[in-house]
Structure 1
Amino acid sequence: MLSKMHTEAGVPAVPGLSSSSENPHKKPKKAEDKTGAPPSRFSLRMSAAWWRSLQCIGMTLHYLAPPRPPNPAFSKSISATISSKKGNFTLQFYTPKGYDEAKKTRERFPAVVNFHGGGFTLGNATDDARFARFVLETCNAIFISVDYRLAPEYPFPTAVDDGADALLYLIRYAPELYIDPYRLATSGFSAGGNIAITSPLRLTAHLKTITASTAPGQEQVPVYRIVAIATWYPICDYTLSRVERRATAIRPDQTLPPGLTTLFDSSYLFPPNLDLADPCLSPSKATDQQLAEGIPPNVIFYTCEWDMLLREGEDLAKRLERPPISKNVHYRMIEGVPHGWDKGPDPLKPPAHSEQLYLECCERLRDVFNGAESK
């Protein structure tokens, strides 16, 4: 079966869908402007399954490098309440030292809610276990990684809705989970970096509708505070074409292959008339008011020098820092690395500089948590 799969330059591709569907002279506004004629959803699922099997091998090798990353302490399956696509998804909980004694001590821990990468099409919640170790050891925080539902089976906005639902669940059940709801943060990598930004925006919008429709005496959402976002090489602006992104990349040869990015776009950006400027898809297109209200006060923002997403990430980081949004932004471009460099499949050692940068990020998160008001 695999030997018959359509490829472009050796890269598995979706049959009937060219990796050059975009018109390089037209700025995309709708999904169809990026993907062309919508491909068969079945063919997208077949291609996604192929790539998922490859990624499973790569991540297995990634886990083998010493020091070995931790395993989740427990998991919870929760129901989707915000998404129109009903169903369940899983939260994986990594717990810090002292968590098992929390029933006796009544200690409350800060929590980092994480979203894995994979173009909204690949990956799972254990992919960022190496980062989880630094959160546990440096921040003494609970690390909750979200197995949000993937495209093409679940296109936009399901992943973002699941992210907001995960936050809402953790806020509602904070006492039972020994979470301090005043010390929450989101984190994520690539597509997950997008969700780390957009899920607080989505939650803010959702809670406005709840507040407007809640009658006196009905259950209210508990008070909470998301104090930080840690986002790594996120997708920020889908109104930029892949052609434009590659043209502005410092090392186009180091960007993701067109066959893979075409799969990602065709899987997630559906239906064809989807507005690419939706702020929960392209946070760069959110208004100043939406960003000021929905983004936490502290943003830790990393981009990669050789990444085609560098420019849009850099632009958003600068915008978040400027008035009238005026967030406290720590921005760093990681020199000499491509997109997703920290997930390299080397079984002998972690990718270069990944541990130093994870530590730096978690030290900043720790400082935010220690300065946050806890009640």
Structure 2
Amino acid sequence: MIDPHIQGLLQAMAESGFALPDPITPSSLRATLDNPISGPPVEIAKQVDISITAEKRSIGGRLYHPAPGQVLPVVLFFHGGGWVHGTLDMFNRLCATLSSHANCAVLSVDYRLAPEHPFPSAWEDAAASLHWVKTNHDELGIDPRRIALAGDSAGGNLAAATAQLAIGDQSVVHQLLFYPALDGRCNSSSFNAEHVGFLSSEQMRWYWEQYAPGELREDARVSPSLSTDLSGLAPATIIVAGNDPLHDEGVAYARSLEQMGVEVALYDYPGAIHGFASLLGLVPLADEAVEKAAQALQTAFK
């Protein structure tokens, strides 16, 4: 079952010539999918590109701040794209909306991409960005005691893995995961079904091979759902889509968190597809999910 608004949008895109590339290569995916979906602009008081320094490298970033001059909590956001593609521009509207609606700053991180930079590069950049935010909070106008980790798809993987790294860190107060990639074994029921939209099971398996081939996926930093101890983890909001290879692993992770005493809210949208939050302003279901996410952040920061 597909939400009729999403179905209409997919049909219009297909009629305009959009299709996933065949064969799948890094360059073909970047050319096809690294173009932001056109939608209503989102107003934000401050939006500026910055540089996150980590050891001997520099990581790109974009800061959104709805009230310059005020010190606000911050969301550290990791974009989607299978660790292979994805840009700050692609998630511009989503980040600006979260910033505006949750009344918080958002720092979107342009981490290194595979296959040029496989694991642990993206994970290292995510961890380094958390450290950098804390040490540079004054110039950013953020409260280092109220940090949320958020991500979309592969970015949800990085947010979840960074949250596990930060267990015991009282400054990390929430994790917000949009249809996260959490289990490199790729063996769930939803993974073994085919789905319409922006992500196929074959495509997701290919992403995993680029980022963390073979036995690397048994590492909990790569597959956060394989962690054996999640107690003490920051509370979570997990948003999943029914027509998505990653649906079942998101649901399973929410249940695992609950069993280990972690506060978690799961929002399951049966009619949605992978990546649907980026359709905000175009699809009512996306607007609803993003508003739920913003409300969760507001609550966490209070």
1:180 aligns with 2:143: yes
**How high is the sequence identity, in percent, across the aligned residues?**
27
Displacement of 1:258 after TM fit? 5.2
Q: Work out which of the residue numbers 183, 191, 196 in structure 2 matches 1:254.
A: 196
Q: Secondary structure at the match of 1:292?
A: coil
C-alpha distance in 1, partners of 2:107/2:184?
A: 27
- The structure with the largest alpha-carbon Rg is 1
1:28-75 deviations in Å (ceiling 9; x for gaps): xxxxxxxxxxxxxxxxxxx21221111233x1xx1x322446596222
Amino acid at match of 2:53: S
C-alpha distance in 2, partners of 1:367/1:229?
A: 12
Q: Work out which of the residue numbers 111, 115, 125 in structure 1 matches 2:78.
A: 115
1:85-136 deviations in Å (ceiling 9; x for gaps): x532111101112x1xx2xxxx421000101100000101232222223322
Aligned to 2:179: 233
Paired residues of 1:238 and 1:276 also in contact (CA < 8 A):
yes
1:156 aligns with 2:156: no
1:307 aligns with 2:270: no
Q: Secondary structure at the match of 2:174?
A: strand
Q: Secondary structure at the match of 2:191?
A: helix
Q: What is the root-mean-square deviation of aligned Cα atoms in Å?
A: 2.5
Aligned to 2:228: 287
1:76 aligns with 2:54: no
Would the alpha carbon gap of residues 245 and 358 (structure 1) be closer, same or farther in structure 2, given more than 3 Å must change?
Answer: closer
Q: Work out which of the residue numbers 326, 331, 353 in structure 1 matches 2:261.
A: 326
Would the alpha carbon gap of residues 96 and 123 (structure 1) be closer, same or farther in structure 2, given more than 3 Å must change?
Answer: same
Aligned to 1:264: 207
Displacement of 1:10 after TM fit? 7.8
Q: Work out which of the residue numbers 287, 312, 317 in structure 1 matches 2:254.
A: 317
Amino acid at match of 2:228: T
C-alpha distance in 1, partners of 2:195/2:61?
A: 36
Displacement of 1:354 after TM fit? 1.0
Under a length normalisation based on structure 1, what TM-score does the superposition of the two structures give?
Answer: 0.69
C-alpha distance in 1, partners of 2:201/2:182?
A: 18
Q: Work out which of the residue numbers 292, 295, 299 in structure 2 matches 1:363.
A: 295
Q: Secondary structure at the match of 1:279?
A: coil
Paired residues of 2:258 and 2:264 also in contact (CA < 8 A):
yes
Would the alpha carbon gap of residues 167 and 92 (structure 1) be closer, same or farther in structure 2, given more than 3 Å must change?
Answer: same
C-alpha distance in 2, partners of 1:286/1:190?
A: 18
Displacement of 1:173 after TM fit? 1.3
Paired residues of 2:191 and 2:201 also in contact (CA < 8 A):
no
Which stretches in structure 2 are left out of the alignment for 5+ residues? Answer: 1-18
Amino acid at match of 1:254: V
Displacement of 1:228 after TM fit? 0.4
1:312-370 deviations in Å (ceiling 9; x for gaps): 11111011012xx21111111112112112335x9xx5234111211121112101211
Paired residues of 1:186 and 1:196 also in contact (CA < 8 A):
yes
Paired residues of 1:13 and 1:263 also in contact (CA < 8 A):
no
Q: Secondary structure at the match of 1:159?
A: helix
Would the alpha carbon gap of residues 128 and 71 (structure 1) be closer, same or farther in structure 2, given more than 3 Å must change?
Answer: farther
Aligned to 1:134: 97
C-alpha distance in 2, partners of 1:140/1:258?
A: 36
Higher RCO structure, 1 or 2 (CA under 8 Å, sep 6+): 1
C-alpha distance in 2, partners of 1:343/1:131?
A: 6
Give aligned pairs, total: 283
Aligned to 1:35: none
C-alpha distance in 2, partners of 1:259/1:69?
A: 37
Equivalent residues in 2 for 1:44-63 (5 A)?
47-57=25-35, 59=36, 62=37
